[in-house]
Amino acid sequence: MSAEPILKVRDLRVHFEIPGKGLFGKPSLLKAVDGVDFDLRAGETLGIVGESGCGKSTLGRAVLQLIEPTAGQVVWLGRDIAGLRSAAMRPLRKSLQIIFQDPLASLNPRMTIGEIIAEPLVTHRADLGKEEIRKRVQDMMANVGLLPQMINRYPHEFSGGQCQRIGIARAMILEPKLIVCDEPVSALDVSIQAQIVNLLQDLQRRFGLSLMFISHDLSVVRHISHRIMVLYLGKVMEIADRDSIYARPHHPYTRALISAVPIPDPEKERAKERLIISGDLPSPINPPSGCVFRTRCPFAQERCTQEEPKRRTIADGHELACHFDGPGL
């Protein structure tokens, strides 16, 4: 992996205005992403985890400028692309792609898979002829484990795992530098999940890809990621390399997420220490004061209600947004 980041995100915020109730109701502000910072290097996979509603998908789309950020910087290869209009973003789309959660719903049922995979080439590579496009499509189909002779079939003729391979081929056909994987295996069976994750890792090695891998499944994230970032209510709670964050998580939220991951060995599963958090995720329209996690944190103190913890480095490459260095450890 390159030492110099190809992507730098600084204080990224995505806020949505929610209309008030009634004729004279005041609008509210939903803070989906609220001050996120991270770097991503060439060939690296950053796993992004957290409960549903914590801002993972919104963050991924804001990085790609599919959602316009409210504030902050998204520096791609030295250029701040935050807020760029579609015309200015168009030349950059070749390098920035996305894989969606629902493999079948993300494919046009009226197009053959050859047309689906070729669509980015038709849009961005007007210099290519029909035969060259067809050859590239068939080559990419082979790269993702699809038979080239399937090129004229339609999405409904394929299984969920095969449809996700089609989505990956479409994202890969322009040979991008970054792919945002928005829960790409959550709709698939466990055995198929492993195949898709292994395919992504293989493509990453062959093409030098960088990945933002969004998921709520920490066992999958652990397998594929180099570093892991934990989000809660649009804020970063903890970020570290994979081994450090699993071996010694410092934030109570990270500890709770990891302790919920089942262990195949029954004896180890019964013996492991669990940290259970109660209650539901607060509304991002009206987040708690101070530390946003304090309403569910078993270690919350008076300071947590009044002061928002600043993200700080507690070890080499390990950053934490908590007033304490792993309370209770």
- If we measure between CA atoms, which residue out of 242, 161, 171 comes closest to residue 209? 171
Q: Does domain 5-95+176-320 have CATH number 3.40.50.300?
A: yes
Q: What is the pLDDT of residue 273?
A: 72
Q: What does the pLDDT look like over 250-271, one tens digit per residue?
A: 999 999 998 887 777 677 667 6
Place of tokens 């290519």: 128
Q: What is the pLDDT of residue 241?
A: 95
Q: What is the pLDDT of residue 17?
A: 92
**In whole angstroms, what is the distance from residue 36 CA to residue 12 CA?**
5
Residue 231: in which H helix or E strand, if any?
A: strand 227-232
- If we measure between CA atoms, which residue out of 302, 315, 160 comes closest to residue 244? 315
- If we measure between CA atoms, which residue out of 304, 297, 212 comes closest to residue 252? 297
Q: What confidence category does residue 326 fall into, taking pLDDT thresholds of 50, 70 and 90?
A: low
Q: What is the pLDDT of residue 26?
A: 84
Q: Is the pLDDT of residue 306 over 50?
A: yes
Phi and psi at residue 266, to the nearest 5°: -60, -40
Which residue type, as a one-letter code, is found at position 322?
C
Q: Is the pLDDT of residue 328 over 60?
A: no
Q: What is the pLDDT of residue 268?
A: 66
What residue ranges do the domains of the chain occupy? 5-95+176-320
If one compares 202 and 101, the residue with the highest pLDDT of the two is 202
Q: What confidence category does residue 36 fall into, taking pLDDT thresholds of 50, 70 and 90?
A: very high
Helices (DSSP H) in 14-159: which residue ranges? 56-63, 86-89, 113-124, 130-143
**In whole angstroms, what is the distance from residue 310 CA to residue 157 CA?**
51
Q: What is the pLDDT of residue 37?
A: 97
What percent of the chain shows pLDDT beyond 70? Answer: 97
Most confident of the following: 18-22, 264-268, 316-320: 316-320
The model carries a pTM of 0.92
Q: How far, rounded to the nearest angstrom, does the alpha carbon of residue 250 sit from its chain's CA centroid? A: 22
Q: What does the pLDDT look like over 62-110, one tens digit per residue?
A: 999 999 999 999 999 999 999 998 899 999 999 999 999 888 888 999 9
Distances from the Cα of 100 to the Cαs of 25, 60, 182, 270, 319, in angstroms?
A: 36, 11, 5, 36, 29
**DSSP code for 74:** E
Q: Is the pLDDT of residue 30 over 90?
A: yes
Q: Is the pLDDT of residue 329 over 50?
A: no
Those residues whose C-beta lies under 8 Å from the C-beta of residue 319, and which sit 6 or more positions away, are 236, 238, 239, 240, 311, 312, 313
Q: What confidence category does residue 1 fall into, taking pLDDT thresholds of 50, 70 and 90?
A: low
**In whole angstroms, what is the distance from residue 165 CA to residue 132 CA?**
21
If one compares 142 and 217, the residue with the highest pLDDT of the two is 142
Q: What does the pLDDT look like over 214-235, one tens digit per residue?
A: 998 888 999 999 999 999 999 9
Q: Is the pLDDT of residue 16 over 80?
A: yes
Question: What six digits make up the tokens of 153?
Answer: 């079939």
SS3 string, 155-215, reads HHHCCHHHHHHHHHHHHHCCCCCEEEEECCCCCCCHHHHHHHHHHHHHHHHHHCCEEEEEC
Sign of CA dihedral 61, 116, 215, 286: positive
Those residues whose C-beta lies under 8 Å from the C-beta of residue 230, and which sit 6 or more positions away, are 49, 50, 236, 237, 238, 239, 245, 251, 253, 254, 257
